[in-house]
């Protein structure tokens, strides 16, 4: 296992050794085999704290695919929601009749707009602003433009369907059934890996780094989840090996591995996930990243995956070296997994 992924493992370790990230927790799995590593520091400022096994990371946008996508997918399975329902059917304050649930999931909605002093608003004010101060531009069904607003809307749609805030739905319908015991929206602060040190908020630890998630709390479907490496291994394996432990039908999982946009030609978005093409036979894999320094790649056909958790925004989010290293590691991993 270690020999097969030698360059990938060396690259992951180098992120810590070269100071690109303070610490890293990662796992590579291939059928029943697993290789795991935890190394480096959880905190470098204001104190130095070693990274420990079982620490909880701010997953940032992995919240979208680990939490919100399953809740929406289950609503579709249950017939409570349809992919091509208009957004305004569930969120009438948003008056444009064109964008659909599918558009939100594939980031093809064209919904955009600047909200002045966004980070200074209350939760109620911020939600109202997102529903009434956004517009739809010409990219609707023409361009994939990744935006958190799509998953804010999906969270609020789920709340309309089920009558509970999205984060509560995720906890009860995804995290508890899968026994993801370290995954939470209210984690143990002492067990959390810190993120950024900001002038206004100080050292951010145990609360969402994302400002929208910090304000909206339980009503945020785009970020806010904390989890351990073990939790993501449970989730990743369950998704590609057991249809999310039976929470999904086989057809629902199939939908995650298909282009779901309505744009002509082949495109890289399924329901929430980014699609990657295998170079050997062009079968599709799914992947997602998080701003705080998290990512995962899952290959259902080969029963393989890579899960990486880092604290790349600690102590500062200005870290271009991380983005370059991450992109290189994506390429290295895909090459090694397909060449053996």
The total domain count for the chain is 1
**DSSP letter string, 70-121:** HHHHHHHHTTS--TT-BGGGT-TTS--S--BHHHHHHT-S-EE---TTGGGS
Q: What is the pLDDT of residue 162?
A: 98
Residue 340 pLDDT greater than 80, yes or no: no
191 occurs within a structural domain? yes
1 occurs within a structural domain? no
Q: What is the pLDDT of residue 239?
A: 98
Q: Range of 134's domain?
A: 6-338
Provide mean pLDDT across the span 98-116.
97
98 occurs within a structural domain? yes
Q: Give residue-wise pLDDT tens across range 15-50.
A: 999 999 999 999 999 999 999 999 999 999 989 999
Dihedral sign, Cα of residue 45, residue 47, residue 51, residue 57: negative
Residue 338 pLDDT greater than 90, yes or no: no
40 occurs within a structural domain? yes
Provide mean pLDDT across the span 211-218.
98
Q: What is the pLDDT of residue 280?
A: 81
273 occurs within a structural domain? yes
Q: Where are the alpha helices (DSSP H) in the chain?
A: 6-17, 62-63, 69-77, 101-106, 123-132, 148-162, 166-170, 211-216, 229-241, 250-256, 320-338
100 occurs within a structural domain? yes
Q: Give residue-wise pLDDT tens across range 48-106.
A: 999 999 999 999 999 999 999 999 999 999 999 999 999 999 999 999 999 999 999 99
Confidence of residue 230 (pLDDT cuts 50, 70, 90): very high
135 occurs within a structural domain? yes
167 occurs within a structural domain? yes
Q: What is the pLDDT of residue 37?
A: 98
Q: Give residue-wise pLDDT tens across range 279-331.
A: 888 899 999 999 999 999 999 999 999 999 999 999 999 999 999 999 999 99
Q: What is the pLDDT of residue 266?
A: 87
Q: How many CA atoms lie within 13 A of 42 on its CB side?
A: 21
When computed from its CA atoms, the radius of gyration of the chain, rounded to whole angstroms, is 19
Provide mean pLDDT across the span 129-140.
98
Q: What is the pLDDT of residue 339?
A: 82
User: Any idea what the CATH number is for the domain that residue 254 is in?
Assistant: 3.40.710.10
């Amino acid at each position: 296992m270690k020999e097969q992924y030698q360059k990938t493992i060396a690259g992951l370790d180098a992120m810590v050794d070269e100071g690109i990230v303070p610490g890293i927790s990662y796992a590579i799995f291939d059928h029943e085999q697993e290789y795991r590593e935890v190394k480096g520091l959880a905190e470098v400022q204001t104190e130095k704290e070693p990274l420990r096994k079982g620490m909880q990371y701010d997953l940032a946008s992995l919240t979208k695919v680990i939490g919100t996508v399953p809740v929406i997918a289950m609503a579709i399975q249950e017939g409570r929601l349809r992919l091509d329902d208009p957004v305004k059917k569930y969120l009438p304050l948003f008056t444009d009749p064109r964008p659909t649930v599918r558009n939100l999931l594939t980031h093809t909605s064209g919904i955009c707009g600047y909200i002045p002093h966004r980070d200074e608003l209350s939760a109620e004010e911020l939600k109202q602003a997102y529903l009434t101060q956004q517009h739809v531009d010409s990219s609707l069904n023409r361009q994939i433009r990744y935006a958190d607003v799509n998953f804010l809307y999906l969270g609020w749609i789920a709340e309309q369907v089920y009558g509970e805030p999205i984060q509560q739905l995720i906890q009860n319908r995804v995290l508890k059934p899968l026994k993801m015991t370290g995954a939470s929206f209210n984690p143990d602060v002492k067990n959390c890996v810190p993120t950024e040190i900001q002038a206004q908020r100080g050292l951010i630890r145990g609360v969402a780094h994302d400002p929208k998630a910090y304000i909206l709390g339980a009503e945020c479907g785009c970020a806010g989840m904390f989890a351990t490496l073990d939790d993501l291994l449970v989730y990743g394996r369950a998704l590609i090996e057991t249809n999310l432990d039976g929470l999904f039908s086989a057809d629902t999982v199939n939908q995650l591995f298909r282009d779901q946009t309505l744009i002509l030609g082949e495109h890289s978005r399924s329901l929430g996930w980014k699609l990657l093409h295998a170079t050997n036979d062009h079968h599709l894999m799914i992947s997602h990243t998080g701003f705080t320094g998290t990512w995962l790649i899952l290959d259902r056909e080969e029963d393989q995956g890579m899960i990486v958790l880092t604290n790349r925004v600690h102590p500062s989010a200005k870290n271009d070296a991380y983005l370059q290293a991450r992109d290189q590691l994506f390429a290295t991993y895909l090459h090694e997994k397909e060449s053996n």
